[in-house]
Amino acid sequence: MADTYDLIVLGAGSGGLAMAFRAARHGARVALLDPGALGGTCVNVGCVPKKSLWFAAQIAHSLQLAGPYGFEGVAGRLDWEHFRQRRLAYIDGIKQRYEERLAAAGVQWLREAGRFVAADTVATESGAELRAPQIVIATGARPQRPPLPGFELGLVSDDMFALRELPRHVGIVGGGYIAVEFAGLLRALGSEVTLHVRERMLRTFDRELVDSLEEHMRTQGITLATGARISAARREGDAIVLDDDSCGERGPYDAVLWALGRVPNTERLDLDAAGVQCDVLGHVVTDPWQNTNVPGIAALGDVTGRLALTPVAVAAGRRLADRWFGGRNEARLDYDDVPSVVFSEPPLGAVGLTEAQARAKFGDSVRVYRSRFTPMQWALAGQHGQTLMKLVCVGDDERVAGVHVLGPGADEMLQGFAVAVKMGACKRDLDATVAIHPSSGEELVLMS
- Neighbour-count burial for 376-410, b at 16+ CB within 10 Å, e otherwise: eebeeeeeebbbbbbbbbbeeebbbbbbbbbbbbb
- Under the binding rule (CB under 6 A), the answer on residue 311 touching ligand FAD is yes
Range 134-163, binding ligand NDP (CB under 6 A): 146
Q: Does 274 bind ligand FAD (CB under 6 A)?
A: no
- Interface with ligand NDP by CB under 6 A: which range of 92-100, 103-111, 196-204, 330-338? 196-204
- Quick one: what does residue 34 bind among ligand NDP, ligand FAD, none, with the CB cut-off 5 to 8 Å set by partner type? ligand FAD
Which listed residue (30, 113, 153, 358) binds ligand FAD by CB under 6 A?
113
Among 84, 262, 306, 427, contact with ligand NDP (rule: CB under 6 A): 262
State which of residues 32, 107, 123, 178 lies at the interface with ligand NDP (CB under 6 A).
178
Distance CA 60, CA 256 (A): 23
Instruction: Rank residues 266 and 354 by Cβ distance to ligand FAD and give the closer one.
Output: 266
Chosen from ligand NDP, ligand FAD, none, partner binding at 167 (C-beta under 5 to 8 Å by type): none
203 binds, among ligand FAD, ligand NDP, none (CB under 5 to 8 A by kind): ligand NDP
User: Site for ligand NDP (CB under 6 A): which residue of 19, 42, 123, 260?
Assistant: 260
Q: Is 261 in the site for ligand NDP (CB under 6 A)?
A: yes
Give min distance, CB of 146 to ligand FAD, in A: 17
Nearer to ligand FAD, 194 or 265 (CB): 265
Tell me whether residue 179 is annotated as binding.
yes
The least CB distance from residue 96 to ligand NDP, in Å, is 25
With a CB cutoff of 8 Å and minimum separation 6, the contacts of 46 are 40, 157, 310
Provide, rounded to whole angstroms, the least separation between the CB of residue 4 and ligand NDP.
36
List Cα–Cα distances, 30 to 5, 9, 10, 47, in angstroms.
6, 7, 11, 26
Closest CB to ligand NDP among 28 and 405?
A: 405
Q: How far is the CB of 143 from ligand FAD (least distance, A)?
A: 7
| Contact call for residue 441 and ligand FAD (CB under 6 A) | no
Q: Is 384 a catalytic residue?
A: no
Q: For residue 248, say whether it is annotated as part of any ligand binding site.
A: no
Residue 391 engages ligand NDP in binding (rule: CB under 6 A)? no
CA triple 200-203-205, angle to 5 deg: 130
| 340 binds ligand NDP, rule: CB under 6 A | yes
Contact 97, 105 (CB under 8 A): no
Whether residue 70 is annotated as binding a ligand: the answer is no
Choice from 5, 60, 114, 440 touching ligand FAD (CB under 6 A): 114
Q: How far is the CB of 1 from ligand FAD (least distance, A)?
A: 21
257 binds, among ligand NDP, ligand FAD, none (CB under 5 to 8 A by kind): none
Site size toward ligand FAD (CB under 6 A) is 37
Beta carbons of 219 and 374 less than 8 angstroms apart: no
Strand partners, 340: 350
Does 369 carry a binding-site annotation? no
CB of 130 or CB of 410, closer to ligand NDP = 410
Determine if 349 is a binding residue for ligand FAD (CB under 6 A): no
Question: What are the residues binding ligand NDP (CB under 6 A)?
Answer: 146, 173-179, 181, 198-199, 203, 259-262, 308-309, 340-343
Question: What are the residues binding ligand FAD (CB under 6 A)?
Answer: 10-16, 33-36, 40-42, 46-47, 50-51, 113-114, 138-140, 157, 178, 265, 268-269, 301-303, 308-311, 313, 343
Positions marked catalytic = 437
Summarize the annotated binding site for FAD as residue ranges. Answer: 51, 114, 302
